[in-house]
Amino acid sequence: MSAGNVSSLLTTLTVSAGAGSDDLLTMVTGAGPVVQAVLYLLVFFSVASWGIILYKARQIRTARRASDRFIETFWETKNLTTVHAASQEMADSPVAQVFRAGYQELVRLTRAKRQAEEAQLSTDLGGVANVERAMRRAATQQLTTLERALTFLATTASATPFIGLFGTVWGIMHAFLGLSTTQSSSIQAVAPGIAEALIATATGLFAAIPAVVAYNSFSRQIRVLSAEMDNFAFEFLNIAERHFLN
């Protein structure tokens, strides 16, 4: 193929693509008010869900890396006071926040136990159960933070295909009702209206597919982080019971 033929082919494809874009824009702007309202609503869902996807991807990635770094620091450092100081610099780590809650409760219990022994008092302070409750409460708070805004992604994934389908059904119904005002009953008379209506279904799928993929991915990663928090809490409780709360 000569250079002239290649240039001619590229020009033809460019013109065709531009014409297709113009046709699509014309169909959108020429759609009825109900279909346009559906399209605007779907665009809002799509834009909002993409914003949430980018935010949650960054948040969960940061939490995972910070938690891996904290767990490595915890097992390499023998002094819990040093680990606690390091955890204060890892606010993005859910595991570090669970440790801080357990450590603070452990310090409170050991201090109260020491004061009771010095005063020769017999007091039931709750022991390891208190530390466990503090760590579970912190883990629940971290999960709530990680799962925030996932409900919107689930809603987008489940609702937008039906919203788009509603716009399509309404547009097709409007197109067929328009046959009563025309002299022709051929497919050419309703084809433009049907094409405009089908854009709503396509837009609904465009909004739903990324949302459902992201929701499933984020849910799996949050479950992994939840398991890491639970495993760390069990390990910390064993250490606390063995060395501090006998």
The model's pLDDT over 14-64, given as tens digits with 9 standing for 90+, comes to 433 344 455 656 656 666 778 888 888 999 999 999 999 999 999 999 999
Specify the number of domains making up the chain: 1
In a domain, 15, yes or no: no
Looking at per-residue pLDDT, the higher value among 5 and 108 belongs to: 108
Domain that holds residue 198: 33-243
In a domain, 154, yes or no: yes
Percent of the chain with pLDDT over 90: 48
The per-residue pLDDT for range 217-241, each reduced to its tens digit, is: 999 999 999 999 999 999 999 988 8
What is the predicted pLDDT for the residue at 78? 78
- Residue 13 within any structural domain of the chain: no
Q: Is residue 214 part of a domain?
A: yes
State yes or no: pLDDT of 66 exceeds 90.
Answer: yes
Position of tokens 């609503």? 41
> Has residue 18 been placed in a domain?
no
Q: With 90 as the cut, is the pLDDT of residue 184 above it?
A: no
**Residue 8: which pLDDT band, with cuts at 50, 70 and 90?**
very low
What is the C-alpha separation between 162 and 175, in angstroms, rounded?
A: 20
pLDDT digits (tens, 9 = 90+) for 152-176: 999 999 999 999 999 888 888 777 7
